[in-house]
Structure 1
Amino acid sequence: MAADPLYGWDLTYKTVEKDIKKKSDVLVTFIHWNLTKRGFRTIGIGDERTLTGDEDKSELLPTGWNDNENYTLRYVLDGKLYILHGLNTDGNLIINLMRSEDLQVSNIALKTDDTVKEMSGPISKMIPDHKDLMFNIKRDLVDTITSKPTTSTETQTTRVESNNRMPPDDPLRVPRPQPNVQPDTHPWDMPPSPLRVGRSDLDPFAPGGGGMLFNPFGPDRRMPDDPGMGIPGGLPRGSVPPGARFDPFGPPGVGPRPGRRPPPPDADHLPPPGFNDNMFM
Structure 2
Amino acid sequence: MDNKEFGWELLYHSVEPFVNRKEDVLVTFVHFVLIKNWLRCYGYDGEACQENQDGTELLPLNWHTKENLNLKYKLKEQNFVLQISKSQGKMIVNFLNPDKVEASNVVFEIEGSVSDIKGPLKNLIPKYTEVWAKVENGLLKELLPESEGKKKTEPNKTSSDEKQPPEWTPTNPRAPALRDRDREEYFDPFGVGRSDLDPLGGLGGGMLFQPPRRGRITPGLGVPGGLPRGAVPPGARFDPFGPPDLDRPGRGTGRGGLGRLSNPDHDHMAPPGYDDMFM
Q: What TM-score, normalized by structure 1, do the two folds share? A: 0.48
